[in-house]
Structure 1
Amino acid sequence: MNKLSFDTTGLAAVDIHAFEATCDALKNNFRVDVPGYIDFQLEQFEIFNHYKDLNIRDAYAIKHAGADSYMLYLEMKPNITSTKAELKRHCHYQPWALTYLKHDFGRVFIRTETLIDKIREIIFPIELDFKEDKPFSNRFYVLTDDKEKAHEGMTQEFRDAMMLIKETDFVLEIFEHTLIVGNRKPIAPEHACYLAEFVARLVAIK
């Protein structure tokens, strides 16, 4: 496969260049294929609730031994309420990586922990902490609706894979067996590849 095709409908020249460069980077670093139709059920993820419209422009399977993960190019139209600057940003194109996990995690939300999170936890202890893994708990803010399921699913291997992420501005949500991760940045090779590397590590966990 020399080229990954993608839908150019409605794209400006700068967006076409970003899509093409990202496709080339994925192809050069991973075994990538174009899957058949898959309903990824993105409506089940709360992190997309503030978008009035969400479409998958393109989806690519990242091939692994025994399982696949996926890179999704999403077209996202935010709920616009006020400023002229917001009105100009009528849609965004972002890369998100998705994979399926062996464990049922319930619902989990993870991002890098902030000072505000640490203060909030003192008053409202709602975060899932791992007493046996202080470096992980100090770095990440983990919310869940089922602490037992999440704790069982977030094994040491899972937490080690998370600790290898060098970026600090990503968000991750798990709904039962499905994980999606992104950084809300525009489509670019470096963004897509670090997301793809992360889900590749998760797929490799036995």
Structure 2
Amino acid sequence: MNFNSKEINYVKLFTFSEEQKKQVFKVYDRLCKIYNVSVIDIKDSPLFLFKPLVENQNFVPQICYLIKSENNSFYLYIIIRIVHYKGKYSDKTEEFLEVWGIKKLDEDFGDILIRKENFSNKITELFKTFDIDFNDDPQFSKTFYVLGENEAQARIFLSQSRRRLLKSFPDKDFQLEVKNNILSFGLPKKLSIPRVLEISKFLKDI
């Protein structure tokens, strides 16, 4: 393991189980083989621009990696996700790790939200004209639901190359949000090396 103990506050690691610590170390080692990786204070990253994320008590950021690749950089976060289940006789709580990413963009695109198209979105679409369709890309419009504060800015952001990148991402359950010139991207699923690498590559290419 090539993990540099000086790079991280070990107090953070005490919040993890032994199995979670192993996952964190494996993620770090794998990323270091591909990118230039440094651990930074979460407060020094753009995460807090996304208040719906940081104000969610079930979404607890623990570690922030600053990832650099050539002239490109982005942030990856190790998150503790807390899920509550209501049972017939008692409630149950489960914690697991997720990976989330943030990247600064070259332009201000306002507020944009992109999710996988589903039935509830279709119902909303019947009553509100929030969804932005791309007539030249029916596959994209059929697959994704796009909400934009400014339709023109959203269309500029969703260039043909970016739409192609989104369509090629292997797991369509991702959540993408843009706040001005900051992009947030993640999968609400358990941490795994393949998911970390997929999200990292996406953030590098977007």
- Number of aligned pairs? 198
Name whichever of 7-16 and 119-128 sits farther off.
Answer: 119-128
Q: Contact between 1:107 and 1:144, CA under 8 Å: does it hold in 2?
A: yes
**1:116 maps to amino acid:** S
SS of structure 1 residue aligned to 2:57: strand
Matched, 1:99 2:103: yes
Which structure exhibits the higher relative contact order, with contacts defined as CA atoms closer than 8 Å and separated by 6 or more residues?
1
- State the distance in 1 between where 2:189 and 2:179 align: 22
Name whichever of 12-21 and 167-176 sits farther off.
Answer: 12-21
Q: Contact between 2:46 and 2:182, CA under 8 Å: does it hold in 1?
A: no
Question: Counterpart in 1 of 2:78?
Answer: 73
Question: Counterpart in 2 of 1:62?
Answer: 67
- State the distance in 1 between where 2:4 and 2:153 align: 38
Question: Counterpart in 1 of 2:182?
Answer: 178
RMSD (Å) for aligned C-alpha atoms = 2.6
Q: Contact between 1:61 and 1:69, CA under 8 Å: does it hold in 2?
A: yes
**1:149 maps to amino acid:** Q
Q: Among residues 16, 21, 43, which one is paired with 1:16 in the alignment?
A: 21
Q: Contact between 2:74 and 2:104, CA under 8 Å: does it hold in 1?
A: yes
Gaps of at least 5 residues in structure 1 are none
- State the distance in 1 between where 2:144 and 2:52 align: 17
Identity of aligned residues (%): 22
The 3 A distance-change label for structure 1 pair 55 and 193 is: same
The TM-score, its normalising length taken from structure 1, stands at: 0.82
The TM-score, its normalising length taken from structure 2, stands at: 0.82
Gaps of at least 5 residues in structure 2 are none
The 3 A distance-change label for structure 1 pair 52 and 2 is: closer
Question: Counterpart in 2 of 1:198?
Answer: 202
**1:2 maps to amino acid:** N
- State the distance in 2 between where 1:4 and 1:130 align: 47
Deviation at 1:93, TM superposition (A): 2.6
